Amino acid sequence: MDANNLAVAVTAWQEALGAEHVLTAGEPLAAYARNVSGLSRVIPAVLRPGSTAEVQQIVRIANQFLIPLHPISGGCNWGFGSRLPVQDGVVVVDLSRMNRIHEVNVASHYAVVEPGVTQGQLCDHLRAQRLPLVLNVTGTARGASLIGNALERGIGYFASRADSLAGLEVVLGNGALLRTGFGHMAGARTAYAYRPGIGPDLGGLLAQSNFGIVTSAGVDLMPQLDATMVVIAKIDREEKLGRFIHALADLRRREIIRTVFHVGNRGRTRIALGPLVYDQLARLDPALDPPARRQQAERMIDAAGFGPWSAVGGVMGTRGQLRDARREIRRALRGLARPLFITDRLVQAAKALSRPLAFLPWVRAQRIMLLAVEPLCGLALGVPTDECVKTVYWPVGAMPHSASDNPDLDYGGMLYCVPFLPPDGRVAQEAVELTRRVYARHGFEPFITLNLVDSRSLEGVINMAFDRRQPEQVAAAHAANDELTAEFIRRGYPPYRVGVQNMDLVVEPHDTFWQLVRDLKQVFDPHHIISPGRYNLV
């Protein structure tokens, strides 16, 4: 990048956005380079537009001076690079100021939002307006962007978000403004209700691509149903995992369960519940010193009976449908696990009954576990939480100052490997054994969740924890993650997304597919302005 061109471009951006929205030095700029993955990138500037018109100005100036840009929404792409571009020397475009909710349509159950709108913000809006709609939340923070996560094909607690966007408004790399589906047709009233529109579905090209910057979109919501419950099931022996997966997959095929069921190993359960139990103990006994509190939290989790694998998922429908689902789930899991069915009414009753008896040790322990599990159960019912972020801190012995702390700014490290598998118990067991071998060779414990996305696919969510203050741990973590990702690809189970450091593992120069993606880039972005190297050869 030419330094003189950058300096002139920065001056032009300052005139377009206001100097306070152009970061070129100091701690505010340095914070964008910090990331939970332990990667290093040189970011020369950060731009913070407040409207589509300002994004267009940014792109026009970038084309004039040939300055590459990398758009981010909430910047919560933790474990995959956070806010970092693929390459050094790329200016970050932070869209978090564009956080307006333009419309919520109850009849057609969608919301039209900008990229800075978070899942917590939209959930709060639905509740404040008492709208009978439910959001497909993910297990990340409340501050995670809806559009950003959907464009990365994130997977929520009810379904994949890959097809949840419609009527996208996009500033292309060539500066043109594109509206997908029916959105480009004057007077069209169904741009957000029917994604493809007429003609080729260009909206699908914007996911995991570097063709443009999405500035608004319609996001699918779900109608609120009469009754809801959370299902928790635990197996007591490792060798039951294959049959456990088979039983859950069969329930999904028969549509007894229609949401994503999350099957986590013991390590995942401990890092998810550990900090939440710790917090409850801190409220009850603030005099207990932190190390003793942590030990007590871990003992309580072990005593709660979580086995080598535990599953959690939500069921929604009429009360009759839930009654039938309980019967079918018990039948399917007979001999494998005894499912626990939790409703909001049951939780509130248990909390009320246990409060006056909390002086009894057993009741006190049960109450603490109930309060700890409550926010995690809320995810399966469409309620986002910041509590899951604490899983980054717990394995390395740290704790955030508050639930909303950004793990990029602390020293806990995390990388994700996310292969897509068939919902086959034998394949799942082989994937787990492979992960354990690779991680053990590099000195890590694997935290594994197997998410039953639908009747045909099982998402593996695999990560380890490391201390970013220790260079040798960072190097070992990347070596383990790279090796595991490459081995899954070799076995025919590629990941559905990768970190910014791993594009070379999936983007193959001799593959006709990626050659065509490169050619499309030339049409949408001839000067290669938007996110060079991101899911593309250029």
Domain boundary among 68, 96, 124: 96
List Cα–Cα distances, 11 to 115, 135, 220, 404, in angstroms: 25, 41, 39, 34
171 shares its domain with 233: no
Answer for the pair 91, 63: CB distance below 8 angstroms, yes or no: no
Task: Provide the pairing of β-strand 91-94 with 69-72.
Answer: parallel
In the three-class reduction of DSSP (H, G, I as helix; E, B as strand; rest coil), residue 176 is classed as coil
CATH at 241: 3.40.462.10
Answer for the pair 249, 432: CB distance below 8 angstroms, yes or no: no
Confidence at residue 368, expressed as pLDDT on a 0 to 100 scale: 82
Which two tokens mark 281? 């103990």
516 domain residue, yes or no = no
DSSP string, 199-261: SS-GGGGGTT--SEEEEEEEEE-EEPPSEEEEEEEEESSGGGHHHHHHHHHHHHHTTS--S-E
- Distance (Å, whole) CA 168 – CA 184: 10
177 shares its domain with 319: no
Summarize pLDDT for 276-316 with one digit per residue, the tens. Answer: 999 988 888 888 888 898 999 989 888 888 889 999 999 98
203 shares its domain with 114: yes
Vertex 301 angle, CA 298 and 400, to 5°: 55
Confidence at residue 362, expressed as pLDDT on a 0 to 100 scale: 65
Vertex 70 angle, CA 68 and 71, to 5°: 135
Confidence at residue 499, expressed as pLDDT on a 0 to 100 scale: 97
CATH at 212: 3.30.465.10
Domain boundary among 31, 65, 96: 96
125 domain residue, yes or no = yes
8 shares its domain with 148: no
119 shares its domain with 204: yes
451 shares its domain with 317: no
534 domain residue, yes or no = no
In the three-class reduction of DSSP (H, G, I as helix; E, B as strand; rest coil), residue 67 is classed as coil
247 shares its domain with 190: no
216 shares its domain with 278: no
Which residue type does 362 have? W
Confidence at residue 306, expressed as pLDDT on a 0 to 100 scale: 85
129 shares its domain with 278: no
267 shares its domain with 378: yes
Question: Please, which pLDDT band fits residue 401 given cuts at 50, 70 and 90?
Answer: low
Give the single-character DSSP code of 327: H
Domain boundary among 96, 122, 145: 96
List Cα–Cα distances, 395 to 47, 79, 267, 467, in angstroms: 34, 15, 9, 9
- Please give the model's pTM, rounded to 2 decimal places: 0.93
Confidence at residue 82, expressed as pLDDT on a 0 to 100 scale: 96
Summarize pLDDT for 350-393 with one digit per residue, the tens. Answer: 667 667 766 667 677 778 888 888 888 888 888 999 988 999 98
* Mean local confidence (pLDDT), 253-261: 92
- Distance (Å, whole) CA 1 – CA 43: 12
361 shares its domain with 320: yes
20 domain residue, yes or no = yes
Question: Please, which pLDDT band fits residue 1 given cuts at 50, 70 and 90?
Answer: low
110 shares its domain with 144: yes
Q: What percent of the chain has pLDDT over 90?
A: 78
Confidence at residue 128, expressed as pLDDT on a 0 to 100 scale: 96
537 domain residue, yes or no = no
Confidence at residue 347, expressed as pLDDT on a 0 to 100 scale: 72
What does pLDDT average to over the chain? 93
Residue 147 clears pLDDT 60, i.e. is over it: yes
Domain tally, the chain: 4
Tokens 């149903």, residue located: 225
Residue closest to 78 by CA, chosen among 388, 349, 346, 384: 388
457 domain residue, yes or no = yes
* Mean local confidence (pLDDT), 228-237: 93
Q: Which domain holds residue 305?
A: 227-396
The pair phi, psi for residue 271, each rounded to 5°, is -75, -20
533 domain residue, yes or no = no
